[in-house]
Structure 1
Amino acid sequence: MDTTLRDPLIGRALDGRYRIEARIAVGGMATVYRAVDTRLDRVLAVKVMHPSLAADAAFVERFIREAKSVARLDHPNVVGVYDQGTDGDYGYLAMEYVAGCTLRDVLREQGALTPRAALDVLEPIAAALGAAHRSGLVHRDMKPENVLIGSDGRVKVADFGLVRAVGNETTATSGSVLGTVSYLAPEQIEDGSADQRTDVYACGVLLYEMLTGAKARSGATPGAVLYQHLNEDVPAPSAAAPGLAPGLDDLVARAAARDPGERPADAVALLALVRQVRAGLTGEQLDAVPPTARTPLAPGAEDRTAVVPRPGGGPAEGAVDRTARFQVPPDLVREETVAPAVRRPSRRGLIALLVALAVLVCGGAVVWYVGSGQFTSVPPVLALTQDEAGKRLRAAGLGVSFGEAWSETVAKGRVVSTDPGPGARIRGNGTVRVVVSRGPHRVAVPDVTGQPLDAARDRISGAGLTPGTVAKAFSDSVPAGSVISTDPAKGTARKSGDAVAFTVSKGRPVPVPDVTGKTVSDAEQALTGAGLKVEVSGTPVYSDAVPKDSVAQQSPGHGTQAAAGDTVTLTVSKGQQLFKVPDVTGKDVDEATRILQQAGFKVSVIQVFFTGKVFNQSPGGGSTQPKNTTITLWAR
């Protein structure tokens, strides 16, 4: 029976906005749904707290506070938190919906990755955690299931806010710590503490798993895994995958050091270290083909997010929904007297054994995403051929329907996306819609030559292209206002949405006649006869060459090509500019000459006597004359 039919949230709009369409996963603390934001018309994921948690006011307050902190991260490698709210008994987060698969899906399907691929995944993880660490947030539950790989290849880290809120609760009040056993740092197990270096440890363990295809910590029980975290160093990945570069061994050893003080201080420092190690590797070392993966196809108990005990904690106040809390009996944590010759077990070792005992008694850890036996996960088929995808989905007991879509990044005939996406929960006999690439979408630029510009724009838009810039040119054959050509040219194949520029006709060119020196009326007659319009400037200018009231200037000038109906602006002459002639009578000839030349006049001297004094000048002083007029001086 399809249990989603009995989910009261399916079909409901939380806060009248987020319409719940399908359940993606169910966990001990929340259920994740695919939903549609009816205001913005976009698909997103909505994580709804279980009512047992939503009823706890203190938990909800922390949940809201941490959700706001995560929402402020705004990092491309963090699954975005869009909104938070409550609707009746339901507290929820509205988050980015990532279509793709998890790192766990990739490891389960492919096994070990090449060093290049592993570092390509680790870098954005470290970048995301670095942004969180700078904001004072610690993830606390880094694992492959919380690393999402979108269909576009982008890596995103998920589950920041809820993990932090639950971590605060369990550490502060119950003496327990939340985490996934395979990726817990020693300090989380020993005393429940967690800081930025805790996330760095998990990254080191993740890198080991990506390089080798096997978990760094494994055991028959979660307790055995916890014991290894406390008492054994993470092995060098080259021991499991011979041929790996020593720099990768060193990177894992530093990130996953048991002593937090020996790790990079935070994910920002880790990212710098990762890039330093990558820079020191050769192309051959980065692309070394890994050995056969040893990652189990089904998750083990150590994969599950669990609440495990820490020593010294107070009594549990009740389990949180499906999450088990394992408590250490206080009377078991005590000093024992031993003979000097006998080595006493380390405190960490004793704690690990007690934890293991508690785990055995309580029955193991609890899965974060719990599924009904009637459901299955959609296997990853992205980039497979249509036949390969169909076979894999049918082998998982699922029905298949196919569709097609254009894609710039996925080769023709290979899978672009699925609905539901990879890893999503689906009824065992449900149908997965598979979208197969038709290859890059190319559109031929339509022939719009000779069409009016508006009609040409409409046709370009109708072809899926974008009308672009417009240039103008003369044409003897294309009417004014119609298209002469396009760029790209007609028939060229372009991507949908590409811009197409137009060259539009200004009509036949009209040579502009020379009307300078003509009277305004004669100039107007000549220009209008050529099919041009005339405008007379309101500001006349002086001209030494053109008589007053005649045309001194024209724009555009003589010989310019203009379009019929273009306007030619005329500027009228005020004639020559006149300047006052200085009176130099009675002055020495040399001084008189200097004064007149400085005033812009030329000088001619007629010497009557030789005393050198000017007794007459023509034109006379005080008259107005054009520049460069010759002033004649008589001297005696």
Structure 2
Amino acid sequence: MIGHELGGRYQVIERIGGGGMALVYRAHDILLNRNVAIKVLRNQFVHDEEFIRRFRREAQSAASLSHPNVVSIYDVGQEDDIHYIVMEYVEGKNLNEIIKERAPLQVDEAVRIASQICDALDHAHHSQIIHRDIKPHNILIGRNGRVKVTDFGIARAVTSTTITQTGSVVGSVHYFSPEHAKGVAAGEKSDLYSLGIVLYQMLTGALPFLGESPISVALKHLQEEFEEPRQLNPLIPQSVENVILRSMRKNPEERYHSAKEMLQDLETCLLPERRSEAKADFHDDDDIDKTRIIPAIKPVQRGFEGRGEEGLTRRQMEPESAPPPKRKWSKPALWAGIALAVVLILGVLVWYFTNKLSVPEVAVPNLINKNIEEARTMLDEVGLSIEEPVTAVYNPNYGENVVYEQSKSPDTMVKKGTHIALTVSTAKVLTAMPGYSGQKYADVEKALVALGIDQSRITPDERYSEEFAEGQVIGTEPAEGSEFDPETQSVTVFVSLGNESVAVPDLTGKTEAQAKKALEDLGLVLEEVQQDSSFNIDAGKVIKQWPYEEGESAQRGEKFTITLSTGFPPEAINYTFRVPVTPTSEGTKTEIRIVYSDARKDGEQQEWGIRTIAKGQYLPVDLVLAPNKDGAITVYVNGEYVEAYEVRFSDAKNGTVDEPQLPVAETPAPTPTPEPTPPDPTIEPEILPPSDDGGEAVDGEQTGFILNDKNSQASNGNGNGNGKGNKNKDKH
């Protein structure tokens, strides 16, 4: 079954239990991605149509129950000869395991468990479903302490033809109610009787009735009184003992009328005012099934009773009285009838159990060196079964899940239905890797050696970590919780170097995308983007970065804020100032160098460029001006300072900038011989590339000059270049 996929959706993982009628597996529901428990009918019952019909009907009835203390039924199905019930998977232990581990339980814990069982029974009884097999094996306790009752309806599916084979009567006889032992219909009060035994066992660690055979135990349920729980455990309050005494009355009429009534008693029995209440008193004379001592019936003498010396007895001397009425003999006759009825009932019970439990004998097969599933099949074929749970102990001489010991020797004759205890070998016991995160490497190394790992197989691996300080262990390989063999496994211990530091790059002038990538490449994070105007940085590029500047060290993961430029502030204006320049003499190549400063680059001087001219002209210089940020232009001729101009923001804004006129270049005196060759008008002055801000020539001319011939010289010009020209009202 393991690895099989039932119904196209339930992947069987492992076997987790079983009984006389069915095996239980843990499986994974592929469709709903959850673990489930699957109960599979044993092979010997798959051809019993009556059993299968009742099995399915009762399982479907149980599926109608919806209660937090009832194991939910999810699905009922059949695949070939496999009949199965899919139910809720509960992680935890059954109550029988808990009782074996630590009985007697604390009184409050036992009452809490019994209350939850009783609540589940009350819900089931309202749906006309009788459990009929309440016992610790069918009570699951989850890891959260929640009680879950399972196997609703399964006991009800047992027929007279299968009761012996399944062994369910034998397995559950210690929890039988008297009416169940008689073979009569077991109702709701039968479940309450069984619950009383479960509570008895939790508080005392013992069963109320024990015997050499199932028949003797069943007869004790009918005839004998059990040892009161307080005699076994004096710590049990009288109020709690009263609950047990009432629920375990042999006469159903003297028990609780319903599970709800018993639940109410359980919920209040530990109240201070009830703990020392009087012991419950019941009228045993009304129980006709109680074993009694019946006096023998003496023969009645008629005539003389004896003679004295006088010859006559008093009876002879007295007149003979009328015979006593027959009704005086009715009580002995009643007792005789009761005794006869009891004898007949006991005889019927002995005959019933003798016939039902009389089964043929079979030879135990040899299961040594067989896989557990193969051994299970071999036992099923001869009518035997494996005692659950199977003992699993590692044996180096046998493979995993291979049988190496069985409780009954091969060829031993045993009765059909006998449980054979098997011991199988497990895989080599592995060690779970402990968690060492946050500890020092030296301490972890010692701990690993103590686990049996040779020091030569322990390797440190240093790496940066944002979570762990330098020198602390980050983790191991194999990882925490992983199983490994200390005798062969090599272990890598990851040790932290602390958080890695990186040198912060200069983000100034980068776009947002470029800045983000530069940070991410170093393990840094761009968290926030702000905006501000700038005279120095183009719009859309980084003006400044925070909290670290270029070249500073930052830990990986640090978060940064950058400020992007929105361009010049709205109050800034652009202004083109035309600088008049002339050669040293007309036609002579002269080097002109212009340096300027404005609102950009915090007012620092910037090179506009160098031009070589042979004629007078205007050179345009583009300025950016702002309040309190005026412009200044300095002109150098052949490397020597010649002139400086100041352009105020207020004048540029109002259009009142005074622009000088082009000075008249000096004409050299003629020489007698030889006559100088006139300058070639086709020779253009050397033009150097414009500055970064550049400017276009006036009126679109690349050289940007205006010629002043002899006939068109300005009337108000002068030779020193300080003459005032017309105000340039164009704003660029």
TM-score (norm 1): 0.48
Query: Larger radius of gyration, structure 1 or 2?
Result: 2
TM-score (norm 2): 0.42
